[in-house]
Structure 1
Amino acid sequence: MYNEISNLIENGHSKVLSQVNSAMILLFWQVGKRINDFILEHKRAEYGKGIVGTLSRQLEERFGRNIEEKNLRRMLQFANVFPDTEIVVTLSRHLSWSHFLILIPLKSTEKNQFLCTTCNRRATWR
Structure 2
Amino acid sequence: MKKVNSNLVLTANSTFTLLFWRIGKHINNSTLNNKRAKYGGQIVVTLSRQLSWSHFIALLPLKNPDAKLFYAQVAASQTLGVRDLRKRIAAKEFERTSIANLQNTSKHPAIHNNFKDPYFLDFLGLQNTYLEKDLENAILRELEAFILELGKGFAFVERQKRMIIDGEDFYLDLLFYHRNLKRLSL
TM over 0.5: no
Q: Which has the larger radius of gyration?
A: 2
The alignment's TM-score, normalised by the length of structure 2, stands at 0.24
Q: Which has the higher contact order (CA 8 A, sep 6+)?
A: 1
Which structure shows the higher helix fraction? 1
Which structure shows the higher strand fraction? 2
